[in-house]
Structure 1
Amino acid sequence: MRTYFWLFLLLPLLSTAQEYGEFDLNRGNGILFNVSYAYHSPGGDLGKRFGDHFSVGSGLEFITDKGNWLFGLGMNYYFGNQVAENPILGLLNDQGGIIGNNRGYADIQLRMRGYYLGGHVGKLIPLGFSRNPRSGLRVTASAGLLQHKIRIQDDPLNFVPQLDDQYKKGYDRLSNGLAFTEFIGYQILSTNKLINFFAGVEFTQGFTMSRRAFDFASRQQDTTERVDLNVGFRVGWILPFYVGERASEEIYY
């Protein structure tokens, strides 16, 4: 986290260093493709099921020439190895293990998997210390689908019949539902197109339910209405394509 802190402090300096480029290539309407990486800490019902985790994401958005308005679509894929709930406790023997086909203990691992898919609107707000109108405060709000489950990872050398692919659906606690995500951070679209990235904090609120007809662990259907919270720090790289009167007609290497 200390590295992220110093990076966040250096963002305005990087923006200022790029605003005096010889060629002015970041004007006009634009299409922005991005890839990103984030570290998350869950809360609410999500925090009762999973621990800290990571995500990789990608997105495509349109930025307007006037006002720097942002309209886009994006997806984040969540993954982690901290699982607080153990849905397969009923399969453990007195020694706390699971016997596989070779009559030995199987190494079964639990993982967190999920994704968020949504559309967003937002705005890039230039700050007073920078003369580059395409660098500043990035603020977006998104609505979409949040889904997560407990992945039951097999032992490749010792198969457990009770955890066949069809039976896993009774243990994985697949949940999804409507969710909202807000992002606030700093974004740089440099005037020479060489440095383009963003970094900031995002907040997600998901209103999910179990989508399995039956939960093997509780021996009943799970009808609980969940409130899943997630806070993350995300950094991303942007590949911009501009269309405007002030774009250069030459290609520079």
Structure 2
Amino acid sequence: MTTEYRFRFSQFRLFLLVLACSVVGRSASAQKSVRDSSISMTMIGAIVGVQSPGGDLSDRFGTNFNIGGTFQYKTRTNFLFGVDGYFLFGPDVKDEGLLRYFLNSSGAITGLDGQFANILLYERGMKFDLKAGRIFPVIGPNPNSGITLTLGAGWIQHKIRIDNKSEAIPALSGDYLKGYDRLTGGFALTGFAGYTNFGNKRLVNFFLGVEVTRGFTHNLRRFNFDTREQDDRLRNDLFFGIRGGWLFPLYRRSPRAYYYN
């Protein structure tokens, strides 16, 4: 993970901690039963997804996978507010022309030692956003579960990771990689439609649905070494995928009632 990614992820974790401390007290005071009533609660969770590219992104990458975390707060009226963050990765890079100046007459890349260099390309990226939405309890085991619609806004970025572990090609090592990695980022909007379930016994809590993201991105590098020009055009990066997650709600159990004749 680069220093830039570590810094951004540290900021994201700090934001989650502050947000958690601000609302966990309120959700912990809920005394009603999740089985019978709609209650407020704080949630943390692990999220995973798989996405297909569209727009300008489809010219550069294929299918990607992602993994991350979520922090959410649900009100008694089933409105949702939260923040998501995840890393995305994939093995399918279509923009292989960026290495064309390193190819010999046989179409291979030769290192300083005269041997064929095995240069691998991967997709890497990250995304985090603030989101709001609502759970509509038309189906599910209790009033807290149901059809879920959310809209999010935040930041997305992606790049081509060039794997040159042997460093057989000095021009593809260190800071030189920044001239080839196509680091791209910008504002993103995300829509989600799916189902959220909170188990009556707090054991089965999850969400699953379809997600669409549009990124209004641009190249974050000043200059591309392979094209020998600056790429400052606005991109239309689209992601279509399936997202799910396992939730861990934080709320008190309702006290048991005892009746005597």
Task: Please say if residues 106 and 155 of structure 1, whose CA atoms lie closer than 8 Å, have aligned partners that are also in contact.
Answer: no
Deviates more, 1:48-57 or 1:89-98: 89-98
1:161 paired to 2:167: no
> Which residue of structure 2 aligns with residue 18 of structure 1?
none
Residue 24 of structure 1: how far off its partner (Å) = 3.3
* Structure 2 counterparts to residues 163-178 of structure 1, below 5 A: 163-178=172-187
Residue 159 of structure 1: how far off its partner (Å) = 2.3
Given residue 182 of structure 2, which amino acid in structure 1 is its aligned partner? R
**1:191-250 deviation digits (Å, cap 9, x = unpaired):** 21010001100000000000111101110111111000000111210000125xxx3348
1:100 paired to 2:106: no
Correspondent of 1:83 among 68, 89, 93: 93
> Which residue of structure 1 aligns with residue 134 of structure 2?
123
* Structure 2 counterparts to residues 29-48 of structure 1, below 5 A: 29-48=40-59
> Which residue of structure 1 aligns with residue 148 of structure 2?
138
Correspondent of 1:193 among 192, 199, 202: 202
Query: Normalization by structure 1: what TM-score?
Result: 0.84
1:181 paired to 2:203: no
Query: Normalization by structure 2: what TM-score?
Result: 0.81
Given residue 125 of structure 1, which amino acid in structure 2 is its aligned partner? F
Q: Percent identity?
A: 39
Residue 28 of structure 1: how far off its partner (Å) = 2.7
> Which residue of structure 1 aligns with residue 80 of structure 2?
70
Residue 138 of structure 1: how far off its partner (Å) = 1.0
Correspondent of 2:254 among 230, 248, 251: 248
Aligned mates of 2:232, 2:223 — CA distance in 1: 10
User: What SS does structure 1 have at the residue aligned with 2:251?
Assistant: strand
> Which residue of structure 2 aligns with residue 224 of structure 1?
233
Normalized per residue, the structure richer in helix is 2
- Number of residue equivalences: 222
Task: Please say if residues 24 and 192 of structure 1, whose CA atoms lie closer than 8 Å, have aligned partners that are also in contact.
Answer: no
Aligned mates of 1:130, 1:233 — CA distance in 2: 20
RMSD, aligned CA:
1.6
**1:156-210 deviation digits (Å, cap 9, x = unpaired):** 3x52111111110000010100000110001101121010001100000000000
Given residue 91 of structure 2, which amino acid in structure 1 is its aligned partner? N
Aligned mates of 1:134, 1:97 — CA distance in 2: 58
Aligned mates of 2:128, 2:64 — CA distance in 1: 17
1:50 paired to 2:61: yes
**1:131-165 deviation digits (Å, cap 9, x = unpaired):** 51111001110000010000001143x52111111
User: What SS does structure 2 have at the residue aligned with 1:194?
Assistant: coil
Task: Please say if residues 205 and 227 of structure 1, whose CA atoms lie closer than 8 Å, have aligned partners that are also in contact.
Answer: yes
| Structure 1 gap segments, 5+ residues each | 1-22
Given residue 39 of structure 1, which amino acid in structure 2 is its aligned partner? V
Runs of 4+ aligned residues of structure 1 deviating over 2 Å after TM superposition are 23-28, 247-250
User: What SS does structure 2 have at the residue aligned with 1:50?
Assistant: coil
> Which residue of structure 2 aligns with residue 12 of structure 1?
none
